[in-house]
Chains A and B, each alone.
Chain A
């Protein structure tokens, strides 16, 4: 046991914590992006709102989401602890700074990039997570005609809404849900918010291009056969596809 404690209080162990929490957050991004692709469906949020209900009410996913919040906090906290430690390791700074001569900009500024992302996460959660959990989003009822398959959606007054419900009556399938989709539409009418989201995704890209492959280095994983794959994933999946996918969402709603 004390060996564990020792390991985690060492500089290597603290980096291990950064690595594991970071990689866990990376896997979350994949799930989050794929799920949110439903925002691009032109169905007045039918699929997306059902998905939002599922993600917030399915037991195992709820557990994972608590792990996720914990990971964000631990990742940020350890980053702070390590930064302070590293600052202490060089109390007198150099007069001349090497700049990009021996290290890439993003590798030297993970703290700044991470801070942008932390502010982003807070804004993002206040906009959607908080509003969704505190009944500050509109309500909607979807009616599917079972025979024709025709779907219509109408906004529900707050007094009539009790909880998420699915039922059928007289050949019509009803789904009553919190309309997170509307909230998304509404939020992304704001050009400043859209710009901030796009900027945050640029930060995400730079953060992950360095962070993803470095997480493997901290784990001690540098197998010659698999490292090219790690590098590829770090740059193209986490540095390009995922940030572009996310940035496309606010832009899509803004220009829709």
Chain B
């Protein structure tokens, strides 16, 4: 594909800080290369703004290669833009056309308050992780190969759940701002492995409790999260979480001790 340039109209959410009300601002982006990533396009716009002495657009990013989960833009009605299975940093301007208007919004959720412009506070996810998304019992040193009895299918499934990058697109996409896909992936990655068994039931309870405490919505199985998740986390994780949670609450001895 040959490189061409295009002109775009950006409608961007701008908000000074957590307390102030935000609004949409229209900015023209001229001479954007189709080979640029979406974030590089914003870099160009920001350089322009800085030159003019204006406040650059604040947005989250880090690795810019689709693994850290920091980039978080809601582009034309979809988290991470129109392409499925990709993060905003991996989205290229060739997915848009010359003269197009692009509306960029921050993730919208009560649990993800806007910090500034397009950046939101996602520490709610950290707190959910801290509530139980780890193995705290001593599982010994690095085991010898093939010492742990785990079927390949389970290892694969656990690995797939573990690919969640914590970006929050599932919350952003869900009409209920539900975090179930994220939480269930984090629960599943241990629930499927032998090392995770010791704390399996307390973990499910603790993480669900924290998820509710953060004010995320409930799941209505629209599957928007699955469609928008950049790494393809499956809805079956949510079923597993439900199963583990009810199992823990109704049939197991362990409860969470605060």
Chain A residues with CB under 8 Å of chain B are: 3-4, 6-7, 10-16, 82, 85-86, 88-99, 101-104, 107-108, 110, 210, 213-214, 217-222
Contacts and interface: CB of A to CB of B under 8 A. Distances in A.
B217 A85 contact: yes
A90 B224 CA distance: 15
A86 B227 contact: no
A74 to B, nearest CB: 16
Contacts of A10: 208-209, 212, 245
A82 B177 CA distance: 12
A219 B221 CA distance: 12
Given A7-B250, A220-B246, 6 more contacts: A12-B246, A86-B177, A89-B110, A99-B77, A104-B222, A217-B219
Contacts of B239: 217, 220-222
A94 B217 contact: no
Given A4-B250, A10-B209, A220-B242, A86 B236 contact: no
A7 B249 contact: yes
Nearest to B215: A89
Nearest to A211: B221
Interface stretch (B62-70, B101-109, B143-151): B101-109
Contact of A88 (B78, B110, B219): B110
Contact of B77 (A92, A101, A104, A219): A101
B221 A107 contact: yes
5 contacts: A6-B249, A14-B218, A88-B215, A99-B77, A214-B221
Interface of B: 11, 24, 74, 76-78, 103, 105, 108-111, 173, 175-178, 208-209, 211-212, 215-224, 227-228, 235-236, 238-246, 249-250, 255
B141 to A, nearest CB: 35
Which of B11, B211, B227, B249 gathers most chain A CB within 10 Å? B249
A89 B177 contact: yes
B242 A95 contact: no
A89 B77 contact: no
Contact of B218 (A7, A82, A96, A110): A82
A19 B109 CA distance: 25
A249 to B, nearest CB: 31
A89 B111 contact: yes
Given A90-B109, A107-B221, A97 B77 contact: yes
A221 B240 CA distance: 8
B243 A107 contact: no
Contacts of A14: 218
A218 B221 CA distance: 8
B12 to A, nearest CB: 11
Which of B108, B211, B220, B243 gathers most chain A CB within 10 Å? B220
- A-B pairs, top 8 by smallest CB distance, nearest first, are A220-B243, A89-B217, A96-B77, A220-B242, A86-B176, A103-B222, A7-B249, A102-B227
Contacts of B241: 12, 220
B201 to A, nearest CB: 11
A219 B244 CA distance: 10
Contacts of A210: 221
A96 B242 contact: no
A213 B236 CA distance: 13
A40 B175 CA distance: 43
Which of A210, A217, A219 gathers most chain B CB within 10 Å? A217
A60 B27 CA distance: 69
A12 B215 contact: no
Contacts of B103: 95-96
Given A94-B77, A220-B242, A103 B105 contact: no
B78 A11 contact: no
Nearest to B82: A101
A227 to B, nearest CB: 9
Contacts of B76: 96
